[in-house]
Amino acid sequence: MNNHYAILASLGAAVLLSPEITVLGLVAASDRQRPRTFAWAFGVGTVIGLSFALALGFLLAKTHGSTTEEDPRTWIGFAVHAALAAALFVVGMYRLVNAIRNAPIEVPPEQEERGFTHRLGRLFEATFPSIARRFDGSVEIPIFVRAMRWGLLGFACDGLHPKIFPIVTAAGHEALQVPEPGQRAIGIAMFAVIALIPGLIPAVVETVHSGVSARIKEAFENFMKRYGRLISSAFILAVAVLVGSNAMDEMPGHESAQPPAAVSPAGPTGPSP
């Protein structure tokens, strides 16, 4: 049980230390017109996105019947665990390399223009100009539409982002490994509380102390660039090793290392007369 909680807490900390989420939330909270409205729209979006990715993790767990106490080893279970371990390893190594290189959190414009995402965005703008216009930050749009845009960005951060989505999905999968419903709910709540801090803290800060978000954005970004990604990569890689070990246990025919059964001093025939 403690092992499940440790994995869920580590995955929550990995999301907590994801600089992209908090930086975007601080940008929303730095808006000159409606900072609180946009910050809360972003925060609510992260809640919905986290719930979406967790639900996918639950579905992955149910594909190989991991909610039952007698869980037979199957190749499907092995494949699911192995895929999650591989995804976590890739995300952890990506953050570790960026931390060592001290790479900027926000991609430089010249590098962004060469990326696949930028080219895909240009294609989307050419195909759906009216929809793309609503996501253009330089174009004045109604307050409600801007709030919806920030909500969608929050949803994408926790529910679709390639560096966050595998972490949240793995947490949903891990939560359903807990057999007791009450303890499972505690594990899910623990992960959600930790993971939602970066999405909600800018809204809380802006509500309590209006105008401070713009001042702390640069300092926070520098701290996360130097330390946050290094710490989060350590959490992610450690969990990847644990999930990979669980994948080996799920492999049909694989013998887990179990301690030998204790032998009674009295022997099989009981005490001598």
Dump pLDDT digits (tens) for 235-268.
Answer: 888 888 877 776 676 666 555 544 444 444 444 4
Q: What is the pLDDT of residues 168-186, one digit of tens each?
A: 988 888 888 887 888 889 9
Residue 185 counted as domain residue: yes
Residue 216 counted as domain residue: yes
Q: In angstroms, rounded to a whole number, what is the distance separating the alpha carbons of residues 198 and 16?
A: 6
Please state whether the predicted TM-score (pTM) of the whole model is above 0.85: no
Low-confidence ranges of the chain (pLDDT < 50): 1, 66-71, 108-113, 115-116, 257-273
Domain span at 208: 2-109+146-250
Residue 246 counted as domain residue: yes
Structurally, the chain folds into a number of domains equal to 1
Residue 12 counted as domain residue: yes
Residue 200 counted as domain residue: yes
Residues 221-225: contacts with CB under 8 Å, at least 24 apart:
221/19, 221/23, 221/105, 224/17, 224/19, 224/22, 224/23, 224/105, 225/19, 225/99, 225/102, 225/103, 225/104, 225/105
Residue 116 counted as domain residue: no
